[in-house]
Amino acid sequence: MNDDVLLVHGGTPLEGEIRIRGAKNLVPKAMVAALLGETPSRLRNVPEIRDVRVVRGLLQLHGVTVRGGGEEGELVLDPSRVERANVADIDAHAGSSRIPILFCGPLLHRLGHAFIPGLGGCDIGGRPVDFHFDVLRQFGAVIEKRDDGQYLEAPRGLRGCRIKLPYPSVGSTEQVLLTAVLAEGLTELSNAAVEPEIEDLICVLQKMGAIISMDTDRTIRITGVDRLTGYTHSALPDRLEAASWASAALATKGSVYARGASQREMMTFLNVFRKVGGAFEVDDAGIRFWHPGGPLNAIALETDVHPGFQTDWQQPLVVALTQASGLSIVHETVYESRLGFTEALNQMGARIQLYRECLGGTPCRFGQRNFLHSAVVSGPTTLQGADLVIPDLRGGFSYLIAALAAQGTSRVHGIDLINRGYENFVRKLDDLGAKVEHP
């Protein structure tokens, strides 16, 4: 049996219930935040995904005790014995994850130095780590590039500063938050990311004793404090995973109840889902998504930073748009290479044309830079099973959706990449009646 390949026998609507746990884009960062505390932290609603395992391993390498709590999905993190980790061990544990760079600020505060190996992550366009290092230098870090990675020291400690991000990057905003809370003085961050996961991280840090304010103009102010303690926190649900299953329900003409999904963080997605022709119902425990019958509607869509339509929602929804009547227009403004996954959809029978021009009015960094970042999707089209190789996390789940909606059998390679952000997704597919198997 090959666990990294999945045979998907398409044509069966997804029907049933799945559980949405804590957000991939919050939980690993909250785990890193535990490094800053002088007492243990307790994190609840933790999903079983690879990014959590990577961070758990890196924390343990640095002397943090990590154990399960009294309930399912709970972790207790004790940072009382933080120590320097072996360089080779860090490199081996980090793998393709970009999370290790967020260890810099906390380790500089706790140990006075940090090491960051070469970084990986999904190949969906530029995610320059230079943002992170520029930020750390402004706090007073000294960075030395060596063959095996970056070595950082803070010989005079870290001090608050004024930072204006050239783009509201989630990772850079997290870096500032995790560094500024124990830095001396005031830090003012302009053009910050304000995603729900950022707000939840701020809630975690505030519980630890941090002083952080958010203004409506994307400015975050952090007043450094002398010490932080541990936290008890339940992570907000993963709105990106919930939207992926919603798109799967729509593309397969099925019905999926996403237990644990939250309306508040998904309002922009829910509006678009309804415009396309999908139906949903919100209750106190989750959201049910379904295809109500009849044709789906073509739409014009532009991705943007929060509160706009999230780029991680785009790829799964594009698969559903191949089943909509007419021409849908998608303008990707966040990652320049995120539409590359459509080539495989075209091989399955979709009609998607990519353009270098901005097909939309949202300000975009890529319009004059020769990137294929706009798409026109012509539908509806009948998809046929195919051999698929997963390119990245969201694109990979989108291939699964396409294979589930297609006629015939698809062989999907590289599914382990999906484990980075989708908890027990093969078991969830089984629970929803999908016909999938490992060859």
Catalytic sites, residue numbers? 122
Dihedral sign, Cα of residue 194, residue 336, residue 393, residue 399: positive
> Cβ-count burial of 269 within 10 angstroms (0-12 exposed, 13-18 middle, 19+ buried)?
buried
Q: Which amino acid makes up residue 273?
A: F
Rg (CA), the chain: 22
Q: How far apart are CA 7 and CA 58, in angstroms?
A: 33
Look up tokens 């952000």; give the residue: 421
DSSP string, 232-288: EEEPPB-HHHHHHHHHHHHHTT-EEEEET--SGGGHHHHHHHHHHT-EEEEETTEEE
Give the position of tokens 């989750």: 286
Q: Which amino acid is at 269?
A: F
Tell me whether residue 168 is exposed, middle or buried, using C-beta atoms within 10 angstroms of its C-beta: 0 to 12, 13 to 18, 19 or more: buried
Does residue 307 have a cis peptide bond before it, meaning omega lies within 30 degrees of 0?
yes
Angstrom distance (rounded) from CA 288 to CA 410? 27
> 222 - beta bridge partners?
187, 212
User: Would you give the distance in Å from CA 261 to the centre of its chain?
Assistant: 15
Site of tokens 């002397």: 63
Angstrom distance (rounded) from CA 339 to CA 373 = 6
C-alpha–C-alpha distance, residues 415 and 48, integer Å: 16
Placement of tokens 């294979």 in the chain = 403
**Dihedral of CA 362/365/367/372: which sign?**
negative
Question: For residue 201, what is the DSSP state?
Answer: H
CB 149 within 8 A of CB 143: no
